[in-house]
Amino acid sequence: MEQNDFRRRVPILDHLPCLRRLRLVSCLLIVSHNPAHAELNIIPPFEVTPEIVAMRGCIEGVAHPSELDLTTEAQLAACDDHVTLAEDRIGAVGIRGLTLYDIGTTDDHRAQAFTDFTEVIEARGDASPSVYANRAFVTFKRKNRLDLSRSELDLALADITRAIEIIEATAARPRPYYFERRAMIYGTLFEKRGDRDYIVRAIADMDHILTLQPDSPRTRWMKAIFVKYLPEG
């Protein structure tokens, strides 16, 4: 059966994020074992391969087929196994980076997430804006923002800006939180360097978000903070 034919029969699959990053067979396995989708009566693959077991452990944090929750250490070990076993190694590296970003608890975890996102960028370039954004985000999880070096801040700013540029170039749905994160980077750069232009840019990003979400109280609150720190001149 062609993937599009299956989607016509099971429309909910169009909205499942797993189809954007995994092969259809893997997505079907995940969906078929999710009680929330029991009414779809989806039949899982006949063969449960070690790759699929590792993938489920990494993404869902469960053991297959027991469905028991894995510890953080076991889930991250499953991610390592998935990288080793996956046909699409770079895709598996990206998934490991996301998992490390989400549940990692140590500096080593965050450093590995940064390395994984870097490997995906080097292999696939502008294929996805999210990988640039994720590398920018994980930079701020690795250290206190004021402890970041000039080069780390510059790279984070370049990454989130590149993510925004890719979205704008492809006319994809805007992601307001990218502009919010960039504004926060601008704010940190202002605190470290004292350049008024960074605050001006942060306010511009807040204004852009308000064109997308005019009723956002969070954005108005953040903009007010930036305006408060806008130096005279």
99 in any annotated domain: yes
165 in any annotated domain: no
103 in any annotated domain: yes
77 in any annotated domain: yes
pTM reported for the whole predicted model: 0.75
* Residue 88 in tokens: 């699409």
- Which domain covers residue 65, as residue numbers? 48-124
2 in any annotated domain: no
With beta carbons less than 8 A apart as the criterion, state whether 148 and 139 touch: yes
Question: Token match 């609150």: residue?
Answer: 221
35 in any annotated domain: no
Cβ neighbours around 69 below 10 Å, total:
11
Q: Is the pLDDT of residue 203 over 60?
A: yes
pLDDT in tens, 103-159: 988 889 999 999 999 999 999 877 788 999 999 999 887 777 777 888 899 999 999
With bands split at pLDDT 50, 70 and 90, how would you rate the model's confidence at 10?
Answer: very low
With beta carbons less than 8 A apart as the criterion, state whether 78 and 54 touch: yes
Q: How many structural domains compose the chain?
A: 1
State phi, psi for 22 to the nearest 5 degrees: -125, 160
What pLDDT sits at residue 145? Answer: 74
Helix (H, G, I), strand (E, B) or coil at 62: strand
Helix crossing, 176-193 with 129-142: angle to 10°? 40
If we measure between CA atoms, which residue out of 162, 181, 164, 182 comes closest to residue 173? 164
pLDDT in tens, 144-156: 777 788 889 999 9
* Residue 195 in tokens: 């350049």
If we measure between CA atoms, which residue out of 160, 177, 187, 175 comes closest to residue 219? 177
Q: How many helices (H) and strands (E) does the chain have?
A: 11, 0
Strand partners, 69: 62
195 in any annotated domain: no
